[in-house]
Amino acid sequence: MQRRYGIVAGSLMVGLMGALLFGCAPGSVGAVPTQENCANNIDDDYDGDTDCADSQCVGAVACLNANPDDPNNDNPNDPTPADPPVDTPPVVAEPVMQVVMDQVKLPKSSSEYAADINGDGVPDNRLGEIISVLDTFLQGLDLQAETDYSVKSGMTLILMEILGSSLINDAATSAQVYRGSDSDTAADNFSGSEDFGISSEGPQGIKLTGKVVDGRLDVGPGNLVVPLPLVPGKPPIPVTLYWARIEGDIGPNGITNGRLTGALPKSEIESTLMPALAETLTWLIGANSTPAYAKSVLSAFDTDKDGKISGGELQNSVIGTVLKGDLHGINGEPDSEPDALSLGIGFNAVNCTIQK
């Protein structure tokens, strides 16, 4: 009898401890749930805090953005409906400057207009090296003079629009580049007040974002399509630059000490730059050269002896060596061979009006 009493007493003690620690069975009198229901207006765990005010409901879906003291809160238990959302028009940055490049400056070396394009701490400008090689092997080819003529004649009109709130200090500036069109004489293109249209053959709607600090513009990096004069006597050719960046000193009359840098991907080198350079060399050995000079150029590059220079022939020449590129990772993946060519040019620009 004493043994049985001890067993019963022990069972009662275990049951009592279980009730105290874990609560009674569901539906039994005196049950104290340990989990708060966050959306029923009841203090389920009897700790004095109801629903979203309970510490157990922090982060619960029913309590997101809820504020019990706000009559217009988003708490689903609040019968007062929230105010309808107000349609706020988006803030549109206004143009604060519109300019046309009156000077496009080609680099004479790999250090001129160079920039750390791919973030490896080394300034890059393979274009300067290419021009240096051309000057060495092709005396008589003055690419800067041809570029100057293309700009001054109005054949190459590169427009740029600066959007933001200030030309002195602005943490949210953007720049957009266009190929311009002009309906009148080129004589007044760089007067500071000329009106230009936007060519349908040029880049559209591509912006680089950045800032202006103490009057120094710095936008990018990003992808940018730029119309560049690559073939003498021909309209500019749009090229796509990755990691593009535009910098320059903003003044009352335009932009000075400008620099445009970026990476020309391998696909653009093969489809655009090589053919353009081949066309330039073919033009060079045309009517503007002596027979002896034409013969020396053709002997260096015209491997199939057809009297012309193709992109494929250039690719297998000494020029093709530097045209292969110098940057890795343009496609977001590590590459064993360079997949882009660094490019940097200088520019100055004067004020204008862009008609849209």
Note down the domain range covering 82: 33-88
Residues 250 and 278 in one domain: yes
β 94-105/158-164 pair status: antiparallel
Contact 98, 352 (CB under 8 A): yes
Residues 1 and 62 in one domain: no
Per-residue confidence (pLDDT) for residue 16, from 0 to 100: 30
Q: Degrees (nearest 5) of the Cα angle 81, 83, 87?
A: 145
User: Per the omega criterion (within 30 degrees of 0), is the bond before 107 cis?
Assistant: no
Q: How far apart are CA 259 and CA 97, in angstroms?
A: 17
CA 78 to mean position of chain CA atoms: 45
Residues 203 and 264 in one domain: yes
Residues 13 and 61 in one domain: no
CA 329 to mean position of chain CA atoms: 15
Residues 83 and 100 in one domain: no
Residues 233 and 117 in one domain: yes
Per-residue confidence (pLDDT) for residue 302, from 0 to 100: 86
Instruction: Count the neighbouring beta carbons within 10 Å of the beta carbon of residue 241.
Output: 25
Residues 66 and 113 in one domain: no
For each successive 10 residues of the chain (356 residues), what is the average pLDDT? 39 34 38 66 77 75 56 47 52 79 95 92 91 75 87 94 94 94 92 94 82 97 89 85 96 96 91 86 74 82 86 82 82 74 96 94
Stated pTM of the model? 0.70
Residues 183 and 69 in one domain: no
* Structural domains of the chain, count: 3
Residues 209 and 171 in one domain: yes
Residues 38 and 176 in one domain: no
Region class of 30: left (phi > 0), else alpha (psi between -120 and 50), else beta: left
Q: How far apart are CA 293 and CA 287, in angstroms?
A: 11
Domain end point (choices 70, 88, 106): 88
Q: How far apart are CA 169 and CA 213, in angstroms?
A: 5
Lookup result for tokens 């105010």:
83
Residues 5 and 54 in one domain: no
Instruction: Count the neighbouring beta carbons within 10 Å of the beta carbon of residue 107.
Output: 22
Residues 107 and 39 in one domain: no
Q: How far apart are CA 236 and CA 78, in angstroms?
A: 64
Q: How far apart are CA 171 and CA 210, in angstroms?
A: 7
